Amino acid sequence: MADIGIAATAVQAIHPVHAWGLELIRYVQGLDIPGGTGLAEAFTFFGDATLYILILPVLFWCVDEKKGFRLALTVFVSNGINIALKETLRVQRPFYYDTSVKLSEQSGFSTPSGHSQNSAVFYPLLASLFLKKHILVAGGIALSFCIGLSRIYLGMHYPTDVLLGWALGALIAATGFFALPLAARAASKAESGPLSGIIGSYRRHSAENPKSARTWKLAAAALVSLALSAFSAGDSSMSGLVFGFAAGYILLTEKKPGTQEHTFPFRASEGTLVKKLLRALVGFAGLGALYAGLKAVFPGDESAHYTLFRFLRYGLTGFWASGAAPVLFLKMKL
């Protein structure tokens, strides 16, 4: 989940809303809270992409592949939307206008706050899907709140960036947790109404032609990926990751023709603790080899084809996590 570096440009006039935000940052930092910077950096860590990269594959490989896929894809789409908005709005960070407020390191544009947005998606959904306790969902929301405040304290974001990030994250989380499942359940139960004929025809077609149904799903994933890529100013990382991760899962969950049996019957919840640990080791080894290996052999950002190869690198990494690795686990009897 990478940021594009800020291009060197002449300092432009600051927007009045951002000027107000900069004054609020100075005021908060001027409170001189004991250990404030260290505490803010600790909360910021919980909103960092590195932590998600460690947690999401483990959930998918070792806990529940269906819930893991749902959570991971929602986070990836959220981050893709965040990158697209940043590259569209191209708002400079507060320290661009006042270097004295810079208490941490961060590249890229400012609006909306990625840490705030993605944490508002990840932690409440994690608690809802896997822990299923209202108190923990509230804890996830509170953690996202603290992460957003930490970005203001460190001078990385204006308050408006954080507010927009929280709002977008809440909307995306609600869509991923409530709206899409409700629509799917409504479609599965549709026996009458204007769409019943279309839905029934699609079901029959899917049962008789599983490869054709797979093609439709891959096309849908490609459209989402294309939409993310179109507004991301050449940062194809999330569009590649979304397509690769979705494609791997679509192939993993494909059913044998005329049956309800999966071609690759992977179940993350099955297996001993030792087997699950081995899955994680093999899975992360593959992720590291693909990510670092392809980065080493593919053209760098000086190449005219960098965007394409970046898409391929992230796409293949996502495909490994959701498709190739689980198939390998089955072959290795893990």
Q: What would the mean pLDDT of 154-166 be, rounded to a whole number?
A: 95
Q: Where are the domains of the chain?
A: 20-189, 219-334
Q: Is 305 annotated in the active site?
A: no
Q: What is the pLDDT of residue 206?
A: 62
Task: Give bridge partners of residue 255 from the DSSP assignment.
Answer: 262
Q: What would the mean pLDDT of 295-323 be, rounded to a whole number?
A: 91
3-state secondary structure of 253: coil
Rounded Cα distance between 209 and 258, Å, is 9
- Residues 157, 205, 262, 305: which is the catalytic one? 157
Rounded Cα distance between 280 and 240, Å, is 23
* Alpha-helical regions (H) of the chain: 16-30, 36-46, 49-62, 65-89, 114-126, 134-153, 159-174, 180-188, 196-208, 210-230, 237-252, 273-297, 306-319, 325-331
Q: Which of 140, 152, 146, 144 is nearest to 106 (CA)?
A: 152
- Residues 115, 134, 205, 262: which is the catalytic one? 115
Per-residue pLDDT of 175-194, as tens digits, reads: 877 766 666 666 556 555 55
Q: Is the pLDDT of residue 265 over 80?
A: yes
Per-residue pLDDT of 268-287, as tens digits, reads: 999 999 999 999 999 999 99
Per-residue pLDDT of 102-126, as tens digits, reads: 998 888 899 999 999 999 999 999 9
pLDDT band at 213 (very low <50, low <70, confident <90, very high): confident
Mean pLDDT is lowest, of 9-23, 153-167, 288-302, for 9-23
Q: At CB < 8 A and 24+ separation, what contacts does 224-227 make?
A: 224/77
Q: What is the pLDDT of residue 142?
A: 95
Q: What is the pLDDT of residue 130?
A: 87
Q: What is the pLDDT of residue 67?
A: 93
